[in-house]
Amino acid sequence: MHDDVVHIISERTSATHPHSINHFLCIDGAVRSSARISPRADPFLLYAADLLELVRRHQLTPHACADDVQIYGSCRPTEAGPLITQLSACVYKVSSWMASNRLQVNPSKTEVLWCSSSRRQHQIPSFPLTVDTTSVSPVASVGDLAVYLDADLTFRTHVNAVVKACFAVLRQMRSIRRCLRRHTLTTLIHSLVIIKVDYCSSLLAGVSSQLLSRLQFVFNAAARMIYSSRRSEHITPLLRELHWLKVPQRIQFRLCVLRYQCLHGTAPAYLSESLHSVANIGARRCLHSADTSTLLFPSTRRSTVGDQAFPVAVARAWNALPVTVRGASTLSAFCRQLKTHLYCCTFD
């Protein structure tokens, strides 16, 4: 599932063009009981392989996870009409394919999302898309593998949902914290709270500092609960004692781990292909940076959206690491050295 989640980052690379808007369509394919399809995702994806090829023939990008099919497309604001026509034809073919293979599109769970920068939100079309005689209007955000994508790519809805869920758990734990040892309470907070913030946190690269501060409030509240400290007390000593990185460093940690996996061939191909080392560029092979696994930093025209793209965010995080950390021989050694480096940068 982690590979499927990371795919969302790669889709954001198409948003780096300053005058483009992206279309995201999530179709829920309800499996009829007579089809007797296994509930596991892999057999279903093999069963629906022809469906993905059908979407590609319409010059759109498909992505499937279990019985959900996502269709991506991008265009300039003035070309939104032709994209809708193209997408409508694709959805009609998808519906026909599902009907012939004893499957059924669920219009009630089908969502349409137009993505663009905040300055171009007024250019997003508002007319609905027809799915099996049902009109589906565009929405402001959609949920994808427990991650909420906003139309303006700010991830505000996702951060709000995570903060709300975390504080709900902390309120429930507050009533029993006196009955638990500190080690047990720390373990529970890790399992029920911290994991919610860390889930898909690499997607939050480049978001506003205001949203990152809201996530940091969760760590601060959790640390104060563990040590029963007052809100007036300084939080940094508590975080240092717990060895908890702050939110920006936690995001950088996950981006660098993804880069290390791409470098050693253990990451999905669509992520590895989006990253380019300086050593692979003929004109720069003679430079000193070609021997240090330095990544090529892609140029972007808009920092609000372009800096959130996966190749840009990873290059910025990876190139900031010391060469000794990047050259770790194993993943476990890399993670250990990386956390030590980020910890020292945060608290020293």
Residues 2, 12 contacting (CB under 8 angstroms): no
Biggest CA pair distance of the chain: 65
Question: Could you say which of 118, 150, 182 is where a domain stops?
Answer: 150
Q: Which domain holds residue 32?
A: 17-150
CA atoms within a 13 Å half-sphere pointing along the CA-CB vector of 150: 17
Mean pLDDT value of segment 318-331? 91
197: burial class by Cβ within 10 Å (0-12, 13-18, 19+)? buried
Domain membership of residue 11 (yes or no) is: no
Domain membership of residue 1 (yes or no) is: no
Q: Is 135 found in the same domain as 45?
A: yes
pLDDT tens profile 158-201: 999 999 999 999 999 998 988 999 999 999 999 999 999 999 99
Question: From CA 124, how far away is CA 112, in angstroms rounded?
Answer: 12
Q: Is 293 found in the same domain as 260?
A: yes
Domain membership of residue 8 (yes or no) is: no
Q: Is 162 found in the same domain as 146?
A: no
Domain membership of residue 258 (yes or no) is: yes
Read off φ and ψ for residue 207, nearest 5 degrees: -75, 170
pLDDT tens profile 138-158: 888 888 888 898 888 889 999
pLDDT tens profile 326-341: 989 999 999 999 999 9
Mean pLDDT value of segment 247-265? 93
Q: Is 224 found in the same domain as 320?
A: no
Domain membership of residue 56 (yes or no) is: yes
Q: Is 197 found in the same domain as 140?
A: no
Q: Is 72 found in the same domain as 38?
A: yes
> Mean pLDDT score of the chain, rounded to an integer?
80
Partner residues linked to 69 by β-bridges = 27, 64
Q: Is 179 found in the same domain as 126?
A: no
Q: Is 192 found in the same domain as 143?
A: no
Question: What confidence score (pLDDT) does residue 81 get?
Answer: 83
Q: Is 144 found in the same domain as 32?
A: yes
Global pTM value: 0.80
Q: Is the pLDDT of residue 51 over 50?
A: yes
Question: Could you say which of 210, 244, 278 is where a domain stops?
Answer: 244
Partner residues linked to 85 by β-bridges = none
Q: Is the pLDDT of residue 135 over 80?
A: yes
Q: Is the pLDDT of residue 3 over 50?
A: no
Where does the pLDDT of residue 292 fall: very low under 50, low under 70, confident under 90, or very high at 90 and above? low
Domain membership of residue 84 (yes or no) is: yes
Q: Is the pLDDT of residue 282 over 70?
A: no
Question: Could you say which of 193, 215, 244 is where a domain stops?
Answer: 244
Domain membership of residue 259 (yes or no) is: yes
Domains identified in the chain, total number = 3
Residues 82, 125 contacting (CB under 8 angstroms): no
Where does the pLDDT of residue 29 fall: very low under 50, low under 70, confident under 90, or very high at 90 and above? very low
pLDDT tens profile 83-131: 888 888 888 888 888 888 887 788 888 888 888 877 777 877 787 887 7
Question: What confidence score (pLDDT) does residue 122 get?
Answer: 80
Q: Is 290 found in the same domain as 221?
A: no
Residues 247, 197 contacting (CB under 8 angstroms): yes
Question: What confidence score (pLDDT) does residue 24 get?
Answer: 55
